[in-house]
Structure 1
Amino acid sequence: MAEHDGGLRPRFPPWAGRNFRLLVGASFVTSTGNSGATIAAAFAVIESGGSATDVGLVAAARTLAMVVLLLVGGAVADRLPRQRVMAVANVVNACSQALFAALVLTGHATLWQMAALTAVGGGAVAFFTPASEGMVLSTVEPAHASQAFSVYRLATNAAGIGGAALGGALVAAFGAGWVLAVDAVGFAVAAAMRARIDVAHTARAAQSGGMLRELREGWHVVASRMWLWGIVLQFSVVNGMVNAVEAVYGPLVSRERLGGAGPWGLALAAGGVGTACGALLMMRWRPRRMLVAGSLGVLPLALPAVALALGLPAWALAAVMFTGGVAIEVFAVNWMLALHQEIPGDLMSRVSAYDWMGSVALTPLAVALAGPSASLFGRTAALWGSAALIVLLTVLILFVPEVRRMERRPHLPDAVPEPAPAPAMDGTVKGPAR
């Protein structure tokens, strides 16, 4: 990511300017905290006496709030300065995580409180995510898009390596509350960094019509591209299965067979190492058929469920998570490039909102039903079923002609200017991952 001039001060590549470095730095901070907080939230429920169903309900609350608010978040992100939307969302996350931590540390956390605070965090993500999709190309030249996407994801995923391992260790040593508190501080720091991003120089196209009209325009773009809505439908189920495994089954299996939060945190960290290696791979590998290469990268997402079903030891689970991390990064970078190649820039946040809403639409249901499914069919059968669905849908998507035929262009087209910021009521402009 950076070179050194022989001294202590790093020399960044010419294309990685101040705005890009602030964007990457903020993502590094929040990803570090969130990796640990994900583990902490699950174990906070377990330590309070919660069941597998309770763990699933708390995890589902976050995603449900995100699904409900994503379309609004996408429209807002295409109307207001995206970096401000992201900063405000980070402030909301900081407040919700701080209160969550306080309740856990004082021993007063109840199931409904944990679910409600998790939902608040999910609502903030609904505004953050569509805004973030359009920010990378706002901070670099289009010619450096592939490098920028890879570096951005490399930094984010590298943070997840240490965050997951450290989070699991801290939960085991000090309890979930302190990890949630650290995450709250991280969100506050990231908000300050994102507020300093200056993209006022970026030309912006004027918006016409109201929010409903803009949402219809975004829907038309999605519905007219079979490759886009087909993969979104695929991930609606895939994300549900992956989240059920990682949010519910993984922590429970780890507690019963592997020794608790520490080994599960290390397994998640191994997945982070894999994504970092995948990002390094994608900085150099530019497959001509982007979506074919990306879709093949989805298949290894079934492996963690298989490993848990087979009762593999912690080291083997970590190896499986590493492999899945490498593969999903191949998908993620190619998917980002496909979107930026095929979707007009002024519609990116709205299309991203439909993408995310569809991709996580079934996740609350899948996570909420993970516990009951394990009780009804047995945990091993539920894990095998999750793996089978991931493989089946991924194979089917490769039969879509547009997926097989889309080719990478030599260079991404010039970025379409971002939309003009909408004036607030007081005359000022006021302005939250696959």
Structure 2
Amino acid sequence: MIDADRLPRALKPFASGQYRLLVGALAASLLSAGAWLVAAVWQVVELGGSPIDLSFVAVGSSLGLVLAVLIGGVVADRVPQRRILIVVEIVRGIAFAVAAVLAGTGVIEVWHIAALSFVFGLADGFFYPAYSAWLPAILPAEQLLAANGVEGVLRPAVMQAAGPAVASALIAIQAPWLAFAVVAVLQGVAVVVLALMRTTAVRRDLEGLDTHPVRQAFIDLRDGFSYLLKTRWLFATLVFSIVLVFLIMGPIEVLLPFAVKDQTGGGAGAFALALAAFGLGGAVGSLAVASRPLPRRYLTLMILAWGVGCVPLAIIGFTSWLWVMVIALFIVGVLFDGAQVVWGTLLQRRVPPSMLGRVSSLDFFVSLALMPISMAVAGPVGEAIGLAPAFLIAGLVPPVLAIVTLAVAKLGADELAHPLDSAPPDPTIVTGAEAAAGFQAPADEPHPPVEDR
């Protein structure tokens, strides 16, 4: 038994055995996803693909995510999240295995990669809401910032650094098919680890819901949208996010590989290094935030970090030096992922637990709604105006957008009115041993109202 009181703030969640298993499964899954990022891109390149072809592949993933994430949130608020994650990892493992067979036999085409990316997007649409809704059922509220910081370290360090590095090495040894095969095995590891965990109860009273499941799903979605529209801090942040994603995701996902290839002369290794820099920066930023108390001005610092964090992107389109790209992406990673840790904790602390899955899914849906369009237009725009102007727009517009969002939505006043460092515990939140034992809040104990708390 690990004593949480003797651990540093950022490591306190590891006192929970359930959390340690969850982190192990998450790490295996993220490593697979990171390896896919490089292996899929270089499979397209080996097939003679263009930026437009890569846009086609990237759109498949983001489109699948957007289509699935809303129903994924509804399911996460009704079905034990452990079961959802196990199914998701099985589906992803099968998809990786299919990619390995197609590539290994030499019959793979760009449309195959796009179709598999679509499947991965669908899987992610169920994964993210389930994970976000499950975490507060495993850990106490005061450890959520640290847990989100751990995820913030794992996601860039494993998915954006270790995964691409592993894929790059496997591609150098053989070909992309070997990377696909290895990550299929890693998905099997994630399934085994999740199977060792205990199922926790859904933190919602479902006994009074006797409506037809299909109709109830639409009612659940309506309630989630109603909460989003009535909650100013949530609505303003998501409006900011949807524009931000449109501006930057296309250049990062579609144009960056060609900037590395055409401007620096680098190959798969150089691209993996650029992603690794972004990942390392994200790990540093996440760890720094997780090691400190939640900032008092959490909304202001979060929005500014996202906006100002885009500025280094403006440099990428103008440099022929790989090390400059690496430094720029490192800075972007520090600010972006540090802010993301605050955002994940904010949702888990201020959103009623009975609808956290739906709100998490709406977060992904609304903020990523324009991602397919961003990726679809990035290739043609990059070819029409050049890489340099495209990255310049992605770097300089977001800071202005951040300042406007803070001023118009008056988020400074909201964060002062809702301090999270001294917020009383919510009596309907079930965590720790109670959740592991399957405890649910009593039906006669009202859930928090659907309004800004």
User: TM-score, normalised to structure 2's length?
Assistant: 0.85
Query: What is the CA–CA distance in structure 2 between the aligned matches of 1:75 and 1:141, rounded to whole Å?
Result: 23
Counterpart amino acid of residue 119 in structure 2: V
For 1:431, the equivalent position in structure 2 comes to none
Partner of 2:193: 193
Does the 8 Å contact 1:15/1:144 carry over to 2? no
**Number of the residue aligned with 1:167:** 167
Counterpart check, 1:270 vs 2:277: yes
Q: Distance in 1 between matches of 2:202 and 2:356?
A: 15
Task: Tell me if the contact between 1:275 and 1:325 (Cα under 8 Å) persists in the aligned partners.
Answer: yes
Matches within 5 A, 1:176-191: 176-191=176-191
Number of aligned residues = 413
Corresponding residue for 1:425? none
Aligned to 1:409: 420
Q: Aligned partners of 1:80 and 1:30: how far apart in 2? A: 21
State the 1:279 CA deviation.
1.8
1:411 deviation in Å?
4.5
Counterparts of 1:243-392 in structure 2 under 5 Å?
243-258=249-264, 259-285=266-292, 286-303=294-311, 305-392=313-400
Alignment of 1:39 with 2:38, yes or no, is: yes
Q: Using a 3 Å threshold, how does the CA distance of structure 1 residues 202 and 366 change in structure 2: closer, same or farther? A: closer
**Are residues 273 and 15 of structure 1, via their aligned partners in 2, closer, same or farther at CA, if it must alter by over 3 Å?**
closer
Distance (Å, rounded) in 2 between the aligned partners of 1:262 and 1:127 = 32
Quote how far apart the aligned CAs of 1:287 are.
Answer: 1.1
Report the alpha carbon displacement of residue 42 of structure 1 after superposing the two structures with TM: 1.3
Residue 191 to residue 80, structure 1, CA distance change in 2 (3 Å): same
Superposition CA RMSD, Å: 2.4
Quick check: 37-46 or 346-355, which moved more?
37-46
Structure 1 pair 108–15 and aligned structure 2 pair: CA distance change class (3 A): closer
**In structure 2, what is the Cα distance between the partners aligned to 1:69 and 1:314?**
37
Deviation at 1:220, TM superposition (A): 0.8
Query: 1:176 Cα shift?
Result: 2.1
Aligned to 1:432: none
Alignment partner for residue 242 of structure 2, among 236, 239, 242?
Answer: 236
Does the alignment pair 1:394 with 2:402? yes
CA distance in 1, matches of 2:121, 2:147: 27
Cα displacement string for residues 202-225 of structure 1 (whole angstroms, at most 9, x for unaligned residues): 765226241111111111110111
Please tell me whether the aligned partners of residues 137 and 415 of structure 1 are also in contact (alpha carbons under 8 angstroms): no
- For residues 313 and 173 of structure 2, what CA distance do their matches in structure 1 show? 27
SS of the residue 1:310 aligns to? coil
Residue 206 of structure 2 is matched in structure 1 by: 206
Deviation at 1:35, TM superposition (A): 1.5
Which residue does 1:158 correspond to in 2? 157
Structure 1 distance, partners of 2:40, 2:206, is 42
Which shows bigger deviation, 80-89 or 29-38?
A: 29-38
Residue pair 1:168, 1:266 contacting (<8 A) in 2 also: no
* Aligned 8 A contact 1:233 1:359 in 2: yes
Q: Look up the equivalent residue of 1:68 and give its one-letter code.
A: L
Q: 1:183 to 1:241 in 2, by over 3 A?
A: farther
Measured after TM superposition, the shift of residue 14 of structure 1 is: 7.5
Shift of 1:342: 1.6
Distance 1:202 1:19, change over 3 A: farther
Instruction: Give the secondary structure class of the aligned counterpart of 2:333.
Output: helix
Task: Name the CA distance, whole Å, in 2 between partners of 1:176 and 1:287.
Answer: 43
- Structure 2: which amino acid aligns with 1:388? L
**Aligned equivalents of 1:140 and 1:267: distance in 2?**
34
Give the counterpart letter for 1:175 in structure 2.
A
Query: Separation in 2 of the partners of 1:145 and 1:315?
Result: 35
| 2:226 equivalent among 220, 223, 228 | 220
Secondary structure (helix, strand or coil) at the match of 1:398 reads helix
What residue number does 1:426 align with? none
**Conserved 8 A contact 2:92-2:120:** yes
Q: Equivalent residue of 1:71, what SS?
A: helix
Give the partner amino acid of 1:153. G
Judge which range, 118-127 or 141-150, deviates more: 141-150
SS in 1 for 2:77: helix
Structure 2, unaligned stretches of length 5 or more?
4-10, 440-453
Distance 1:204 1:354, change over 3 A: closer
Separation of aligned partners in 1, 2:429 and 2:185: 34
1:13 CA displacement: 4.7
Q: Tell me the TM-score normalized by structure 1.
A: 0.88
Identity in percent: 29
Whether the aligned pair in 2 keeps the contact of 1:139 and 1:199 (CA below 8 Å) is no
Q: Which runs of 4+ in 1 moved over 4 A?
A: 12-15, 201-204, 417-421
CA shift in 2, pair 1:316/1:216, >3 Å = same
- With over 3 angstroms needed to count, the CA separation of the structure-2 counterparts of 1:129 and 1:62, relative to structure 1, is same
Aligned to 1:103: 102
Deviations 1:301-341 (A, max 9, x none): 42453232112411121111111111112211111122122
- Looking at structure 1, the residues matched to 335 and 69 of structure 2 have their Cα atoms a distance apart, in angstroms, of 27
Per the TM alignment, residue 100 of structure 1 is displaced from its structure 2 partner at its CA by: 1.5
